[in-house]
Amino acid sequence: MPSAGVRTRLGRLFPRAARLRELEEHNRRLSHRLRRLQRRELNRSRPDLGYVFVMTYGRSGSTLVQGLLNAIPGYLIRGENHNVMRSLFEFHRRGVADSTRPGGRRVTQPWFGARGFPAEKSIENIRALALQTILRPGPRTRVTGYKEIRWPAADLPDYVAFLREVFPGARFVVNTRDLEAVSRSQWWAEDESSHDRLADIEAAILAVAEELGPAAYRIHYDDYVADPEVLRGLFEWLGEPWDAELVRATLAVKHSY
Which pLDDT does position 50 carry in this prediction?
A: 98
Which pLDDT does position 126 carry in this prediction?
A: 98
Q: Is residue 168 part of a domain?
A: yes
Q: Residue 62's domain is classified under what CATH number?
A: 3.40.50.300
Question: Tens place of pLDDT for every residue, the chain, 257 residues?
Answer: 566 665 566 556 566 666 777 777 888 888 777 666 655 555 456 888 999 999 999 888 899 999 999 999 999 999 999 999 999 999 999 999 999 888 778 776 888 888 889 999 999 999 999 999 999 999 999 999 999 999 988 899 999 999 999 999 999 999 999 888 888 876 777 777 788 888 899 999 999 999 999 999 999 999 999 999 999 999 999 999 999 999 999 999 988 76
Which pLDDT does position 102 carry in this prediction?
A: 83
Q: Is residue 37 part of a domain?
A: no
Assess contact for 173 and 51: CB atoms under 8 A.
no
Structural domain for 145, as ranges: 45-83+115-251
Q: Is residue 228 part of a domain?
A: yes
Q: Is residue 141 part of a domain?
A: yes
Q: Is residue 96 part of a domain?
A: no
Which pLDDT does position 41 carry in this prediction?
A: 55
Assess contact for 235 and 228: CB atoms under 8 A.
no
Which pLDDT does position 189 carry in this prediction?
A: 73
Which pLDDT does position 86 carry in this prediction?
A: 97
Q: Is residue 22 part of a domain?
A: no
Which pLDDT does position 11 carry in this prediction?
A: 57
How many domains in the chain?
1
Q: Is residue 12 part of a domain?
A: no
Q: Is residue 6 part of a domain?
A: no
